[in-house]
Structure 1
Amino acid sequence: MKKVLFVCLGNICRSPMAEAAFRHLLEREGWSDKITVDSAGTGDWHLGKPPHEGTRKLLDHHGIGYSGMLARQVCERDFFSFDYIVCMDSQNQLDVMKWLPKQITKKAEVFKFMDLLPERGFADVPDPYYSGNFEEVYELVEAGCLRLLEKIKADLSS
């Protein structure tokens, strides 16, 4: 069983959108028994809150469930529990690496979401909390989740 953690700033917009979209993809492709998914934030402002209204509306529009999803913060044990920690932007990645225990070897591969889509020309997934452009983020998330599944399949076969 492989485990994926998506990380953004507050865990209410980008990372829960990616979590829900990736879970939906896994169910559709018959991989939900091989890969689990979660999301977290680097900040603690929204702990225990559901995804942002814009994220919920967009997921509803695409028929993607998000029931029971509540914001949580990244923690040290995530480095040992997850195989992939996928950060939505450069600052998230820097902040995540601050949680990495210094004396212990991590299990997780930590990388930026947009590393999966280099041809798009974005370094980071834009934050719709500030831009309001949830559809643009969803388009990136949908494409990136397909690539992530391809990556995990390749990693499992090697």
Structure 2
Amino acid sequence: MRLLVVCLGNICRSPLAEGVLRQRLHDAGLDHRVELDSAGTGNWHVGEPPDPRTVANAARHGVDLTLLRARQLHASDYRRFDWLLCADRSNLSDVRARAPAGATARSALLLEWAGMGQGAEIPDPYTGGPEAFERVWTLVDRAARAVVARLADRTAPIDA
């Protein structure tokens, strides 16, 4: 399965989700079953590391994001990945609007896809304080654990 996590600038929510998913899959011995990456719909931060507040928050929870670099969503991502998993409805709308002809990837809200509720979104912590980053951690970690549980249960559907 190939998953791309998408947010606005690829410096807060999506790299955190990539890192947490990667860690939880590794811990469960399932990392060989999933290819992961993250991207942003905007190009403001291409080549930059994740926001220092995101890196610090993840590190406090034992997840290392220091090697990640922001990139922008590309047309090729719509064929390379099975799922484009978006942080919020605005990202989802942008992802769907940019889909090129011949796109094969499906798109959804990450939290909804992880089974955390219809329309569930990850709020952007960028303009918030430490509590906003911790709230995003909590949501993303819960989603990652739910995804791992679905993948570990070979009878559970993972395509919807």
Per the normalisation by structure 1, the TM-score is 0.89
Contact 1:75–1:99 under 8 Å retained in 2: no
Between the two proteins, the alignment pairs up a number of residues equal to: 152
Is 1:47–2:49 an aligned residue pair?
A: no
* CA-CA distance at 1:32 after TM superposition: 1.0
Within 5 A, what are the aligned runs for 1:53-68?
53-68=52-67
What is the alpha-carbon distance in structure 2 between the residues aligned to residue 21 and residue 114 of structure 1? 13
* CA-CA distance at 1:47 after TM superposition: 0.6
Alignment match, 2:107: 110
Alignment match, 1:84: 83
Alignment match, 2:33: 34
Specify whether residues 95 and 63 from structure 1 end up closer, same or farther in structure 2 by C-alpha distance, changes over 3 A only.
Answer: same
Amino acid of the structure 2 residue aligned with 1:11: N
Alignment match, 2:97: 98
> What is the identity percentage for the equivalent residue pairs of Structure 1 and Structure 2?
36
What is the alpha-carbon distance in structure 2 between the residues aligned to residue 97 and residue 109 of structure 1? 9
Counterpart secondary structure, 1:74: coil
Alignment match, 2:137: 138
Counterpart secondary structure, 1:124: coil
* CA-CA distance at 1:111 after TM superposition: 0.2
What is the alpha-carbon distance in structure 2 between the residues aligned to residue 136 and residue 6 of structure 1? 18
* CA-CA distance at 1:156 after TM superposition: 6.0
Per the normalisation by structure 2, the TM-score is 0.88
What is the alpha-carbon distance in structure 1 between the residues aligned to residue 141 and residue 20 of structure 2? 7
Aligned Cα RMSD in Å?
Answer: 1.8
Alignment match, 1:123: 120
Contact 2:4–2:37 under 8 Å retained in 1: yes
* CA-CA distance at 1:25 after TM superposition: 0.4
Gaps (5+ residues) in structure 2?
A: none
What is the alpha-carbon distance in structure 2 between the residues aligned to residue 155 and residue 59 of structure 1? 29
What is the alpha-carbon distance in structure 2 between the residues aligned to residue 148 and residue 107 of structure 1? 21
What is the alpha-carbon distance in structure 2 between the residues aligned to residue 38 and residue 95 of structure 1? 18
Amino acid of the structure 1 residue aligned with 2:6: V
What is the alpha-carbon distance in structure 2 between the residues aligned to residue 151 and residue 84 of structure 1? 15
Contact 1:4–1:83 under 8 Å retained in 2: yes
* CA-CA distance at 1:37 after TM superposition: 0.7
Contact 2:50–2:66 under 8 Å retained in 1: no
Counterpart secondary structure, 1:40: strand
* CA-CA distance at 1:67 after TM superposition: 3.3
What is the alpha-carbon distance in structure 2 between the residues aligned to residue 28 and residue 149 of structure 1? 10
* CA-CA distance at 1:147 after TM superposition: 2.0
